[in-house]
Amino acid sequence: MVNDPIADLLIQIKNGYMAHLKEVNVPYSIIKEKIAGILTNEGFISGCDVSEKNKNKQIHIVLSYKEKDAAITDVLRVSKPGRRVYEPFTNLKRVLGGRGIQIISTSKGLMTDKQAKKQKIGGEVLCKIW
């Protein structure tokens, strides 16, 4: 049983990159699908789609490489089930000088730190990816 599905998603993607896999499959949840969509839009993964086999939904994630180098170097789960971390938009800092992103859960849905700053809304900092 997975207690933290977001951390499970991030680690499966990171392990896929470390093993030089072309794709990974993760169990489906709505928040995982939205996080995968953000990673696709930001260029950290090539694409994602939802497939259903034997009544079990899976998210099929295609990993992205740049000349054999992984698009994701590392991930950090910031807000955890036992310790939630909330930040106003004024405290959202750039990750590695702008090379990485933070995924924020706001009242207007999931978005990157750049989008949250532009819309001037804060929220729960789910993770940092670079």
- For the segment 66-93, what is each residue's pLDDT rounded down to a tens digit? 888 898 999 999 999 999 999 999 999 9
**Do 96 and 83 share a structural domain?**
yes
**Do 84 and 45 share a structural domain?**
no
- Helix (H) / strand (E) element for 39: namely helix 30-41
Give the model's pLDDT for residue 1.
Answer: 52
**Do 91 and 53 share a structural domain?**
no
Total structural domains within the chain: 2
Q: Return the percentage of the chain with pLDDT > 70, whole number.
A: 98
**Domain assignment of residue 118, given as a range:** 75-129
Last residue of a domain, one of 52, 70, 88: 70
- Tokens read off for 53: 């086999």
Residue 39 scores a pLDDT above 90: yes
Q: What is the mean pLDDT of the chain?
A: 94
Q: Who contacts 53 (Cβ-Cβ below 8 Å, separation ≥6)?
A: none
**Do 84 and 29 share a structural domain?**
no
Last residue of a domain, one of 55, 70, 85: 70
Residue 2 scores a pLDDT above 80: no
Residue 107 scores a pLDDT above 80: yes
Residue 115 scores a pLDDT above 80: yes
